[in-house]
Amino acid sequence: MASFYNNRFLVVFLLVVILVSSCKNEEKVEVQPKKETVEYEIYRPSEMANFMNAMYAYNVQLKQQIIKGETPVVMSLDLMKMHSAEMSNGHGRTPVWNSFVNVFIEAQQSVADTLSNVELKARYNDAINNCLACHKTECTGPIPKIKKLLIQ
């Protein structure tokens, strides 16, 4: 009798071991969704990408104002973010970036400069052409979208 109970105990014990180890296997499977979240993080827009989109939206608004004959007086962007914002993988402050960034900042600021002698539309298109100048080498994807900002 005692040996029968011992055997049953052994069988139960083995079952428990198998169950526990299969749980461990499931835990290993659970690692995969974590990998997916890491991939998701790669596609999350960088601080710079968000700022670029904000600049795009701001210039859409400027274009509409200028076409309506209004004079933009407020520059609502913090253009110093061009120097500080984190960029996504594969992008960085290359020598080309550095050669374009300050010229662009000045051009973008001058659009809302009410004391400027240069025609408003020319100042605006100059700012957009500076977006394009940097994008030609640093990030070619959005070029068609940025070109549509130009006022013909």
State yes or no: residue 23 binds ligand HEC (CB under 6 A).
no
Q: Is 91 in the site for ligand HEC (CB under 6 A)?
A: yes
48 binds ligand HEC (CB under 6 A): yes
Give the one residue of 75, 104, 116, 136 binding ligand HEC; rule: CB under 6 A. Answer: 104
Among positive and negative, which fits the CA dihedral 22, 28, 32, 38? positive
Q: Is 146 exposed, middle or buried (0-12, 13-18, 19+ CB in 10 A)?
A: buried
Nearer to ligand HEC, 33 or 141 (CB): 141
| Closest by CA position to 59, among listed 68, 69, 72, 70 | 72
The piece of 5-13, 22-30, 63-71, 127-135 that touches ligand HEC (CB under 6 A) is: 127-135
146 binds ligand HEC, rule: CB under 6 A: yes
At 37, which amino acid appears?
Answer: T
Q: Does 125 bind ligand HEC (CB under 6 A)?
A: no
Closest CB to ligand HEC among residues 4, 140: 140
Neighbours of 46 (CB within 10 A): 14
Q: Least distance in Å: CB of 105 to ligand HEC?
A: 8
* Cα gap 136→122, rounded to integer Å: 21
